[in-house]
Structure 1
C-alpha cells in the first residue's frame, strides 16, 4: 500500500512544501506522507516520474455533465440558444440511461484530462430515477466527485424531499459527496432561498448558485440585505456584478466559479477573474458545458489568462494554476483532502509529460502548464493513491463499449427531440 513517485519535477501548490526541480513523493494507504528531494522506500511500488511534472490533480467545481453526448453541437450558440436547445428541446427526452452514460463518460473524460475532482451540477430534473442514475455514474468512475443536486428550470417549487433523500444516500466523506445547486431568488423568491439555505446548513451541504447582472440588478446586494450570504456558497459566473457586491462575497467568505470559455463565447461578458481578486476573492475555474467548449482545465486556464491579460496585464501563471487546484478544492470544502501535493492530504496527483514536443524543453514548469499544456500531456493520474490512468490510458475502463452507448443515447435523444446532428441547427431562443 506504499507508492513512490520518483524523479519528477514537483509543483506542489503548497508554499510550505514548495517546488522541487527533482523530487520524490511517497504515498501510503492513499495519503501523501512525504515530499522530498529523495526518499528511501525500498518496499514501495515505484512509479518513474522522470521527464514528468508531478502536481495536484485539477478541480472543476461546476460542470453540467449530463450534456456530454452533445459535445461540440453548440460551439456557435449564444446563451439563449443553448438554453432553448439543451433545456427546451433535449432535456425532456432524457431517460435514466441517458443520464447515466453521459455522466459516466463525461466524468471519465474529465479524469482523462487530469481533473481528479469534479462537481457535477445536475439539473436534468426529471425525477428520482434520473438523480440515482447520475449518482451511480459518479460512483462507477474512479474519481473524486461532488454530486450537486440542482432542481433545474422546470422543477416543483419545493425540492426538499429530493435533497433529503439523496443526502441520506450520500452521507459520508467518500469519493462521491453531495452539494445543493440552488435556483436563486429570481426563480423562487427570497423567502424560499433563505429556507433552502437553512436546510442546506442543517444537512451539512455546501451550495452553488448561478448569478450575474446586466447592470440593473443587484442579486448579491439583495442576498446581503436579507442576511443570506454564506461562506459555504459558490457563486457561478458573476459577470456584471458590481465591485461592491464582489466585496460583499469576499467579506462573507463565499467563492466564485468562473467559466471563461462559456462566458466569453455566450455573451456573458468578460470573466470576473481580475475584479474578483481585487475585491479579495480567490477565483476558481470551471468548464460548464461541453456542447459549447472544451472539457479540459488547460483550455479554461488559458482562456482566463488571456482574457485578463488582455484587459489589464494582470495575473501570473501560478495564479491560474491555483485557481484550478487548491482554490477550487477549497470552494468544494475539500481543501483538507485535495488540491495540493501536501503530506496528510489524499494523493490526488497527476503526472504531465515534459518530453512531448509540444512543450519540450520545459524551462518554467508552471508557465508551461498554463500557457502550453493540453490533455495529451496527462500520462498518469492517481486518485486517493489509486492509479486510475497509466501510460496515457485509463485503467480498467471499457472505452469502446461506453462510446457505443453514448452514441446510441445521442442518436435516440436527437431523434426524439427533432435535433439535427449535421452542424447546421441554430435553436430559437425563447421569447422574453
Structure 2
C-alpha cells in the first residue's frame, strides 16, 4: 500500500454490545455500541457491521464518558494520606507552612505525574490541575511536562507560589504569559492552560483585579477558591461583584460559606462552580454548597481536591455528595416532623456532576463529558461481571452507588487506550511509583522531627 494512502487510513474501534450511558441531553441508558474513529466519537447507537474496525466485546461492560475532575492539587500526590486527620487550619500550617516551600521541580514532576496517572486509573480522563505551588518557572515546566507524559486530558491552572499562599502580596507571576505564548497557546490541545488565582480571601481586592486582568488579557479561564472556612465568610465575592470581576470565564471552588446573594451574583454573571464534598466535610470548609449552587442553575462539577486528605477517585466523591445532600434534606424534614416524599439529587444528576456538568463547569463541554458524535473519544468502561455489580438492572445506579476503581476496566483518551483489561498500558507504573516514593522520602526527611510526620514513613526509610 502506498505510504500516502496508509497515512490517510482511519483507525476505528467499535465498542460492541455494552450498557451505553451517553450523558447526552434527554438520553437514557441502552444496550448498544460506540464507534470511535481516530480521536473522536463517530457514532453511538445500535450499529451494524463496521468495516476495518477493531471490535471490543463490551457486553459485560458499562460504557460511559470519562469522568471529569474540576479541581485537584496534583502537586501533593506524593504525600498522599498525610493530612487524613488534619483540619483546614492544620493543612495550611503544615502543607503550606512547612512542606510547600521544600518542593524542587523534580518533586513537582513526580507528584503531578503520579496524581495524573492515579486519576486515569480511576477512569478520570480530564483533570484541572490546580497547581498552586509554583515556586519558579522550572516548577511550571515540570508540572506541564508531567501532564503531557501522563496521557490524560488536563487543564494546567497556573497558580501562586508557596510564598504567595503564605501571604506574599506580589501579583500573579507574569511567567504564565511565557506558557501562553508557547506550549499553552493551543486551546484545543489535550493539555491546555488556565489560571488559578488567589482571589481576595488570600490576597487583596486590588491584587484580585490585577490577577483577573492578566487572565483576561491572555484569554485564559480562571479558577478560584472562594467561601472556604471562616475566612470564606467575609463577603469577598460580593466585593468581586462590585468590582465587575465576576464572569462566565470563572470557576468558583468550594463556595461553602458564601451568602445567598453572592451565589445569586455568580449565577447572574454566568459563573461556574466546583465542589469537593468529601474534603469540605472532613476538613472544615463548611457544609457543601452542592444543592444551593444547583438550585441557581450554576454548572457544578465534582472534584477530589487533595489526595493528602481523601481518596483520589470520584466514585467515593459521588457517593459522599449524594449522601450529604440527601442526609441534610432528610434531617430537615424529620426535624419538622415530616418525611420526604422522594429523595433529592437523583443518581443521574450526581453522575452528570462527574461527567457533562463537570465538563461544563470548566468550559470543556464542547469536547468531552458525554458520548456524542464529534466529541473527543474520552471513554470509560466499567466491568459488570463482578459480585458487586452483577446483575445490572440500573446502570446509572451501578456506577454511582456500587462502582470503584477495581471495576475500571478500560480508559480511552482521545481514542487512545491508557488502561485496557484492567491494566495501565501507557506508562511504566513502577517507574512512576518509584519516582514519587523517592520524592516523598526527601520531603518528609526535612520534617521528620515534626510530631505530625507519619512515623511509618520515617521507619520505612530506616529499613
Under TM normalisation by the shorter chain, which class is it?
over 0.9
Residue 242 of structure 1 deviates from its aligned partner by 1.4
Residue equivalent to 2:3: none
Residue equivalent to 2:179: 166
Contact 1:247 1:280 in 2 (8 A): no
- 1:89 equivalent to 2:98? Answer yes
Is the alpha carbon distance of 1:105 and 1:153 closer, same or farther for their aligned partners in structure 2, counting shifts above 3 Å? closer
- 1:50 equivalent to 2:59? Answer yes
Gaps of 5+ in 2: 1-10, 330-342, 459-463
SS of alignment partner, residue 357 of structure 1: coil
Find the aligned partners of 1:107 and 1:342 in 2 and give their Cα distance.
Answer: 25
Find the aligned partners of 2:267 and 2:233 in 1 and give their Cα distance.
Answer: 21
Contact 2:172 2:197 in 1 (8 A): no
Contact 2:278 2:310 in 1 (8 A): yes
- 1:422 equivalent to 2:455? Answer yes
Contact 1:147 1:178 in 2 (8 A): yes
Residue 216 of structure 1 deviates from its aligned partner by 4.9
- 1:120 equivalent to 2:153? Answer no
Residue equivalent to 2:340: none
Contact 1:73 1:423 in 2 (8 A): no
TM-superposition CA deviations, 1:146-203 (whole Å, max 9, x none): 1001114523612342110121221102111011001112333223212322221221
Question: Relative to structure 2, which stretch is displaced further, 156-165 or 20-29?
Answer: 156-165
Question: Relative to structure 2, which stretch is displaced further, 318-327 or 240-249?
Answer: 240-249
Find the aligned partners of 1:285 and 1:45 in 2 and give their Cα distance.
Answer: 33
Matching residue within 414, 425, 436 for 1:406: 436
Find the aligned partners of 1:130 and 1:295 in 2 and give their Cα distance.
Answer: 22
Residue equivalent to 2:267: 250
SS of alignment partner, residue 263 of structure 1: helix
Matching residue within 40, 46, 53 for 2:49: 40
Matching residue within 95, 98, 111 for 1:102: 111
Find the aligned partners of 1:91 and 1:227 in 2 and give their Cα distance.
Answer: 32
Find the aligned partners of 2:190 and 2:297 in 1 and give their Cα distance.
Answer: 31
TM-superposition CA deviations, 1:189-233 (whole Å, max 9, x none): 223212322221221100000010648521221111111101010
Question: Relative to structure 2, which stretch is displaced further, 394-403 or 3-12?
Answer: 394-403
Residue 422 of structure 1 deviates from its aligned partner by 2.2
TM-score (normalised: structure 2): 0.89
SS of alignment partner, residue 67 of structure 1: helix
SS of alignment partner, residue 270 of structure 1: coil
Which structure has the greater CA radius of gyration? Answer: 2
- 1:196 equivalent to 2:196? Answer no
Residue 279 of structure 1 deviates from its aligned partner by 2.2
Contact 1:182 1:208 in 2 (8 A): yes
In the comparison of the two structures, how many residue pairs are matched? Answer: 424
Residue 424 of structure 1 deviates from its aligned partner by 10
Residue equivalent to 1:430: none
Contact 2:233 2:258 in 1 (8 A): no
Gaps of 5+ in 1: 426-432
Q: How does 1:117-196 map to 2 (within 5 A)?
A: 117-155=126-164, 157-169=170-182, 170-172=184-186, 173-196=188-211
Matching residue within 232, 247, 253 for 1:236: 253
SS of alignment partner, residue 359 of structure 1: coil
Contact 2:151 2:426 in 1 (8 A): no
TM-superposition CA deviations, 1:345-396 (whole Å, max 9, x none): 0000000011111122211111111111111111000101111110001113
Matching residue within 412, 415, 418 for 1:382: 412
Q: How does 1:292-303 map to 2 (within 5 A)?
A: 292-303=309-320
Residue equivalent to 1:271: 288
Residue 258 of structure 1 deviates from its aligned partner by 0.4
Find the aligned partners of 1:175 and 1:386 in 2 and give their Cα distance.
Answer: 12
Q: CA RMSD in A?
A: 1.6
- 1:345 equivalent to 2:375? Answer yes
